[in-house]
Structure formats: structure tokens, C-alpha cells
Amino acid sequence: MATIKKQIMKILYLGILMTLLLGCSSDRSTATENNGENNFNCNANNGLYPEAFLNISSLEDVETFLENPYKEFYELRVSNLDNLSFLSCVEKVECLYISNCGTSDLSSLSNLLEVSNLFISNMPSLINLNGLNNLSSVNYLEIRNNSSLINFVGLNGVGWIEYMSVTDNESLMNLEGLDNLNTLGVLKIEDNSSIQNLEGLNNVETVNFDGSFTNCNGTPIGLRWEISNNSNLSSISAINNISGDLSNYYLEINSCQNLTDLGSFDNLLKLGNFWISGCPITSLNCFPSLTETGYLTVWDCDNLEYMNFPALQKLSYLNIKENNLLNNISFNSLVEISGGGNGDFSAKIEGNDSLSTLAGLDNLEYNEKIIWINIFYQDFENPLLNVCALRKLYLNQIMNGVNENQIHFNTMCWGNAGFPYSNISDFDSICDCN
């Protein structure tokens, strides 16, 4: 009986669609407007939402919806359907969720002009986003677990997105289709196993998150750009045009096992925090204009040999850890590690098996908390031979009466301890800095 009922409802659904395709009676209310493509008589509700929440997940729901196919909705959830043509009247939605549907594109939404929050998930046949071509902006965009999606073609008209999350889309190659996007607030690119680059974001110059819109998802939004666990991603140079003072933003690049090209962020002046780990880059020399950041973490990049931050003057915490081939660090403009770092520490430099000198930190004058260098090495395996680059820092601490234990070394010139000496000649003598 259940099977027969389902078949009857399917026939009824198709019959309704065919009736609408052939046109409806001409004596409908003057508050309706024919939408052209499917001859639906669309109800212009002029901002008066029929329901706060509408869920359409069955043929019965479609039948009810078609009784009054309004143009505007507050929250509309569509799922478990293969034919979405009943949505062709929709022009404006505050929160639109589409999931578990069998369509290969979103052409049924070709009349959609405005959406604040757009969630597209678990759509196994979706190849691109064609049908969203009339959108010019989206506040919150989440594209998740669409196994056949290859690009973002269809969003070509969008110039502004406040929050964009792209996760678990296993066939996604790049972000082509976002070519007119110039302002982006928050970005998350995670667990997209086929993505090779971020082409499509080349024209993004402005990073701005206003946050004044209604967040239908309800979860707090952190000000960060996070690119993580994308196993075939080799380049992020497409985002190199972001610029200016991003003091409130966190840039995190994590566990991208083929990422070798960061490009160069030539116009980026300030950054809240920067973290890179688990990536096979050979050099980190891509922030020529960056003068200030908060946390700076470079961790577990096994192929990294050289890092250079030529303009960086101030940061709150420096963490350089377990980069096995790293042999050259350059922070020639760095004067201050101001604190606000990790617990009691201003800096940790440890577990870098090829780093034998701290040359490149020669101009460092001030640290608010403890500097911790190679404390857990056994003496016989410690590669650090020269710490003379910290001479200016140590001299400044002596002159200002700073606690001697704020610098903790485990080096070949002085064992595993803080420096107990009260004058610079002791430092020079012990560490052969004459």
C-alpha cells in the first residue's frame, strides 16, 4: 500500500507541474504575476513572509507550496527532492537551505535576486552553481559535501561575501565562477581533496566582515581565513591581492600536503595572527611589507629551509618548532616581542634540527615574557651553536634590570639554563661573541 500511495503522489506531483507548465486560469488575483519560464502564478507578498519557517521535503509539501508560490520567504528548507522547478517563483530569501536533492544545477532558482544566508549541502549530482546568476552578494555562504561539484560557475555576478565556507567537496578543482568577487570577510577552505588552487579569488582585495546580518546558522564567526586539510592544494597565490591592516584577522594554513606556493602578499601590512603547519614549503618569504602581527607560528614544515620577514617589527608570540631542514631565519627588522603570547612565553624556538644559529634576530631589543630555545634537546644532539644574535636583547635586559631568567637557552655555549650573568662581557665570553 505504501508503494502504491507513493506512486499516486508522484503522479499527482507531476500532474500539478504539467498543469502549471500549460498555464493557469486567467482569472487569478491581480496580486499574482506569471513567472514566464514555468507559467507559475507567483504571489507578490511584498516582504510579508507567509511563514517564519517552511520545510519542503516531500511531494505533499510541494503540493502545499504550489497553492501559494510566494516570491519572498524568511527561512526556506528544501531537501530530498529531484525536481526543484517549483522554486522558480522565489526571488528573495533570508535563509535558504538546499540539501540531499538530485539536481545537477540550480537553474530552478534563476529568478532568485537576493539571499542573505545560503546553505548548499549533500547534493551528489550538483556540478556547478548555475541558476544563481542573478545574485550580486551573499552574507553567509556554506557549500558542503557536494561530491560532484567542480567549480563555482553560476556565482559570476557576486561581488561581496561576508562569510564563505567550502568544505568536503571531493571533486572541487578550484573556485572559478567567483571572478567578480572583490570583498570577502571570512574564508574557510577545508577537506576538499581535489582542489589544486584558489583560482576565482584573484580579484579579492578587500577583507571586511561587518557581521550586522542575521546569522541563520547561529554559530559564532571568528575573523579568520583558514585553509586546511586540502591534500592536493599546491598554490594559494590567487589570494595574494588582499591588502592593508588586517590586525583583527587570523590567517591559518594547515596540513595541505602538496602546498609549495604561497605566492607573495605584497600589500599586506598588519595581521592578527599567522599560522602555517604541515605544509611542504621550502621557503617562507612572502610577506615583504608585513610590519606587525600577533602570534606567528611555523610548525612541522619538513621541507622548509629558509624564512624571512624583512619588514616585521613587532609581534606578540613567536613559535618556530620542528622544521627539520630549517637552517636560516631572518627577522632583521624585529625589535619587540611584546607579550600576550602563550602562557609565560614570548618565544619558543625548538626542535629545528638543522638550525645552528639565531642570526637574523640581531635587532631584537625587548621581550615581555620568557624566550625558550631548545630546552628539551640533549646536549649531544643540540644543533644550536651560536646565540650571539640575542646579544642586544640580553644587554637591554641587563641595563633595565629585567629578570635574568627571561631568556632560557639550551645551547652548546651554555647548557640548559637561563643566563645567570649580570654584565654583557660574561655573555660574550661564554658564547664566544667577541
Q: Does any domain span residue 355?
A: yes
Q: Does any domain span residue 434?
A: yes
Cβ atoms within 10 Å, residue 212 = 7
Residue 343's Cβ-side half-sphere holds a number of Cα atoms within 13 Å equal to 5
Per-residue model confidence as pLDDT tens digits over 171-194: 999 999 999 999 999 999 999 999
Domain boundary among 219, 253, 285: 219
Find the helix or strand (DSSP H, E) in which 8 lies: helix 2-22
Cβ atoms within 10 Å, residue 19 = 12
Q: Are residues 203 and 247 in the same domain?
A: no
What does the pLDDT read at residue 104?
Answer: 95
Q: Are residues 140 and 247 in the same domain?
A: no
Find out whether 329 and 320 touch, Cβ atoms under 8 Å. Answer: yes
Q: Rounded CA gap, 385 and 266, in Å?
A: 34
Q: Which of 164, 158, 211, 221 is nearest to 190 (CA)?
A: 164
Q: How many domains would you assign to the chain? A: 2
Find out whether 388 and 373 touch, Cβ atoms under 8 Å. Answer: no
Report the range of poorest mean pLDDT among 30-34, 37-41, 195-199, 260-264.
30-34
pTM value is: 0.88
Q: Are residues 39 and 165 in the same domain?
A: yes
Q: Are residues 13 and 146 in the same domain?
A: yes
Q: Rounded CA gap, 91 and 81, in Å?
A: 20
Per-residue model confidence as pLDDT tens digits over 406-417: 676 665 555 555
Residue 338 DSSP SS3: coil
pLDDT-derived band at 35 (thresholds 50, 70, 90) equals low
pLDDT-derived band at 340 (thresholds 50, 70, 90) equals low
Q: Does any domain span residue 47?
A: yes
Q: Does any domain span residue 237?
A: no
Per-residue model confidence as pLDDT tens digits over 216-262: 988 889 999 999 999 999 999 999 999 999 999 999 999 999 999 99
Q: Rounded CA gap, 261 and 282, in Å?
A: 9
Q: Rounded CA gap, 227 and 68, in Å?
A: 43
Cβ atoms within 10 Å, residue 176 = 19
Find out whether 381 and 409 touch, Cβ atoms under 8 Å. Answer: no
Residues 6+ apart with CB under 8 A from 417: 408, 409, 410
Q: Does any domain span residue 228?
A: no
Q: Which domain holds residue 198?
A: 1-24+31-219
Q: Rounded CA gap, 246 and 64, in Å?
A: 49
Cell numbers 647548557 correspond to 415
pLDDT-derived band at 30 (thresholds 50, 70, 90) equals very low
Q: Are residues 313 and 212 in the same domain?
A: no
Q: Does any domain span residue 321?
A: yes
Residue 161 sits in a domain of what CATH number?
Answer: 3.80.10.10
Q: In one letter, which amino acid is 102? A: G
Find out whether 83 and 101 touch, Cβ atoms under 8 Å. Answer: no
Residue 364 sits in a domain of what CATH number?
Answer: 3.80.10
Q: Are residues 349 and 434 in the same domain?
A: yes
Residues 6+ apart with CB under 8 A from 415: 379
